[in-house]
């Protein structure tokens, strides 16, 4: 059970307006216990799902360091609550993700990830992203 005061406090500390919709979306993330959620999963759990509002809400949450893109495959984006001290200015989520190839369940993994690969000169890396793929404990 997620406490309302924790939801409000999180929105406030990330300088987000406390609308009913945002509270509801954040509650779903806080209740998901490290599991990443797709737009579709969020929509199916919202009382009043509005695609555009949800899109804007996710964008705002990401911009303010509240959630991060955990997986982006097969045309489905999944977002997870930030664990580290992400802020309005920067994400510090240097972790890998695990994605189940059967059910798509995606979770944040513990442990720091160091990527030694180097992009060619003149290239600009925008996101470091390591995904371990396989089967989750329910699909194995």
Distance of alpha carbon 99 from alpha carbon 107, whole angstroms: 7
103 is in an annotated binding site: yes
- Which residue number, 40 or 50, has a Cβ lying nearer to Zn ion? 40
Contact 60, 21 (CB under 8 A): no
- Which residue number, 14 or 105, has a Cβ lying nearer to Zn ion? 105
Tell me which of 7, 93, 96, 106 binds Zn ion, using CB under 5 A.
93
- Greatest pairwise CA separation for the chain in angstroms: 49
How many whole angstroms from its chain centre is CA 45? 16
Q: Does 100 bind Zn ion (CB under 5 A)?
A: yes
Binding part of the chain for Zn ion, among 8-16, 22-30, 71-79, 94-102 by CB under 5 A, reads 94-102
82 is in an annotated binding site: no
Residues 38-77 that bind Zn ion (CB under 5 A): 68, 70
User: DSSP character for 35?
Assistant: B
136 is in an annotated binding site: yes
Contacts of residue 43, defined as CB under 8 A and 6 or more positions apart, other chains included, come to 49, 51, 54
The kind and range of the H/E element at 100 are: strand 97-100
| Residues lying near Zn ion in the complex (CB under 5 A) | 68, 70, 80, 82, 86, 91, 93, 100, 102-103, 105, 108, 136, 139
Residues in binding site for Zn(2+) = 100, 103, 136, 139
């Amino acid at each position: 059970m997620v406490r309302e005061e924790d939801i409000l406090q999180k929105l406030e500390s990330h300088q987000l307006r406390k609308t009913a919709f945002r509270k509801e979306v954040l509650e779903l993330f806080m209740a998901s216990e490290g599991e990443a959620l797709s737009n579709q999963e969020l929509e199916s759990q919202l009382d009043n799902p509005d695609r555009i509002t949800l899109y804007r809400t996710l964008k705002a949450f990401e911009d303010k360091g509240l959630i991060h893109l955990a997986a982006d495959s097969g045309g489905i984006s999944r977002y997870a609550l930030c664990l580290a001290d992400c802020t309005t200015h920067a994400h510090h989520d240097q972790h890998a993700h695990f994605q189940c190839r059967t059910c798509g369940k995606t979770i944040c993994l513990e442990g720091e990830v160091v990527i030694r690969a180097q992009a060619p000169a003149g290239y600009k890396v925008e996101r470091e992203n390591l995904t371990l793929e396989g089967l989750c404990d329910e699909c194995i």
